[in-house]
Amino acid sequence: MPRISNKPIQLLKGFKDILPEHQKYWDFFMGKALVLLQSYGYGRIDLPVIEQTNLYLKGTGKHTDIVSKELYNFEDKGGENVTVRPEFTPGICRAYIEHGMLNRPQPVKFYAYGPVFRHDNPQSGRFRQFNQLDLEVIGSENPVVDAELIIIAYRLLESLGLSVEVRLNSIGCPECRPEYITSLKQYLSSGGRKKSLCENCRERYTKNPLRMLDCKNEQCQQVFKEAPQIVDFLCDQCKKNFMEVLEQLDDLGVLYQLDVRLVRGLDYYNGTAFEIYLKQDDLTKSQSALVGGGRYDGLIEILGGRPTPASGFAIGIERLISKMRELKIEPPIHKKPDIFVAQLGSEARKECFRLFERLMSRGFKVAEAFSKDGLKNQLERADSVGAKFSLILGQRELLDKTIIIRDMQSGIQEIINYDKVMDVVSKRLETASSSVKVYIDKDNANKGSDKNEVEISGPSGKDEPIDKNKKPKYKLNPSSDDNERTINRL
């Protein structure tokens, strides 16, 4: 046993607490996500956090960074080699196979939500435990599935107030990709190009050649500028599928850039691969992708199932929320209490506790500060949580069987009969709610007191109107050919 020091115990490197004041971002995110997920018919799946290590060796792939460098794996007390999940996709595929979901109406649409663990190098935007929202559609080869997934991710980020763009590519299939890889390797072997690649790329040259393309090293990027591009090697089926995805995105006004060097980090992808970035982000920073996903038609078979096409993506929620906070996007607070219950003296506190429970069971949104004694402190709390009314009970009111009701905005107080408190509160709230308002904190919670009042105007975020005659929004890709030229080659 190691000696236990007297120093306060601190968080492990790369791990983070999510404090109560930050939960509003998570609730806001999940609230928006659930609306979309329900409309598009995704069902929630919860998986164990620990799985057999083999699932990730086979599924994610031995040569990926996630498996070769970042796995949290260990031998458990029974001698089994287990891994704390680094991503959701292999686990969802395992569950699909294990529960015979092939026999259900296809495709099966899943979403999962929760922490994943990677022993990554902690830095801004990179943690060792972080949360993902993961969507998988298993059992359809129709490219409309890829488009649907991209659109859901895009709309979700838009609805949070983020301005984003999709970057996408097709990385071909086992039919057409080998020819491309041969040609890429030939290009690198000639003219001493391979020697000028970084060590990582030289290693990938044999183990995972496609991944060389998204190396962030400046010198490697120079070498790849003139390299053959996969778009010129796609088979007819891959071309057709990719064009269908692009057409669907155009049709719904989704902004995208084709990126012939986008390959994604995992072994199992084929066909459409995509990432979503904040528009104003520096695209050379590897940690700036908010979403990553694509098609993985071979994975179910690799994991022992029947050949089954599939497609999916994952959103990194910490990264997303930190962008929201950087951009000062504040979630609206909908859950303000109607009534704050304040007390003076121990007998009054007991009665107030009973009153609080009764109000709650009648469906009122209530708040309290039973641990505080002074009325001033309690009313300050009522103000800070945004209660509409406070009910104040002291010794005198207890004896008189009355209670004070205080309108928190005007400060006007009235003494009412204690037996009538439910009726009075209902009536007051009815009158107050005829003009519904919501408060948005302008700055972070800790800056706090500065509040902005706005009328509720339905779900926030702008919906792009659908204009069927709209020309495709092809935009110049700064690091490669422009979209149009790429499309012409498809």
Spell out a b/e string for 133-155, using b for 16 or more CB atoms within 10 Å of the CB, else e: bbbbbbbbbebebbbbbbbbbbb
Q: Is 290 exposed, middle or buried (0-12, 13-18, 19+ CB in 10 A)?
A: buried
Nearer to ligand AMP, 37 or 425 (CB): 37
Stretch that binds ligand AMP, among 123-131, 229-237, 421-429, 438-446 (CB under 6 A): 123-131
Q: What is the DSSP string of 377-397?
A: HHHHHHHHHT-SEEEEE-HHH
Nearer to ligand AMP, 87 or 148 (CB): 87
246 to 275: interface string for ligand AMP, x by CB under 6 A: -------------------x----------
**Alpha-carbon gap, residue 11 to 272, rounded angstroms:** 39
**Alpha-carbon gap, residue 169 to 455, rounded angstroms:** 42
Stretch that binds ligand AMP, among 47-55, 124-132, 173-181, 219-227 (CB under 6 A): 124-132
Q: Does 318 bind ligand AMP (CB under 6 A)?
A: yes
Which of residues 316, 331, 337, 394 is near ligand AMP by CB under 6 A?
316
Which of residues 110, 117, 127, 268 is near ligand AMP by CB under 6 A?
127
CB of 18 to ligand AMP, least distance (A): 13
Which of residues 164, 173, 314, 352 is near ligand AMP by CB under 6 A?
314
Token pair in block for residue 477: 């890709």
Q: Which residue is nearest to ligand AMP (CB)?
A: 316
| CA-to-CA dists, residue 487 to 184, 264, 387, 475, angstroms | 21, 20, 57, 12
Q: Does 63 bind ligand AMP (CB under 6 A)?
A: no
Nearer to ligand AMP, 37 or 291 (CB): 291
Cross-strand bridge partners of residue 181: none
CB of 87 to ligand AMP, least distance (A): 5
Nearer to ligand AMP, 56 or 130 (CB): 130
**Alpha-carbon gap, residue 335 to 342, rounded angstroms:** 19
Token pair in block for residue 173: 């299939």
**Alpha-carbon gap, residue 166 to 262, rounded angstroms:** 11
**Alpha-carbon gap, residue 192 to 62, rounded angstroms:** 29
Nearest Cα neighbor of 479 from 258, 234, 276, 266 is 258
273 to 302: interface string for ligand AMP, x by CB under 6 A: ----------------xxxx----------
Which of residues 130, 256, 268, 269 is near ligand AMP by CB under 6 A?
130
Q: Does 319 bind ligand AMP (CB under 6 A)?
A: yes
Q: Does 165 bind ligand AMP (CB under 6 A)?
A: no
**Backbone conformation region of residue 448, classed left if phi is above 0, alpha if psi is from -120 to 50, else beta:** left
**Backbone conformation region of residue 461, classed left if phi is above 0, alpha if psi is from -120 to 50, else beta:** left
Q: Token pair 């219950």 is at which residue?
A: 341
Strands 81-84 and 72-75 come out as antiparallel
CB of 171 to ligand AMP, least distance (A): 14
Site for ligand AMP in 73-112 (CB under 6 A): 87
Site for ligand AMP in 390-449 (CB under 6 A): none
Q: Does 60 bind ligand AMP (CB under 6 A)?
A: no
Token pair in block for residue 64: 């990926």
CB of 118 to ligand AMP, least distance (A): 5
Q: Which amino acid is located at 66 in the chain?
A: I
Which of residues 120, 179, 244, 407 is near ligand AMP by CB under 6 A?
120
Residues that contact ligand AMP, how many (by CB under 6 A): 16
* Chain residues that interact with ligand AMP, rule: CB under 6 A: 87, 118, 120, 126-127, 130, 132, 265, 289-292, 314, 316, 318-319
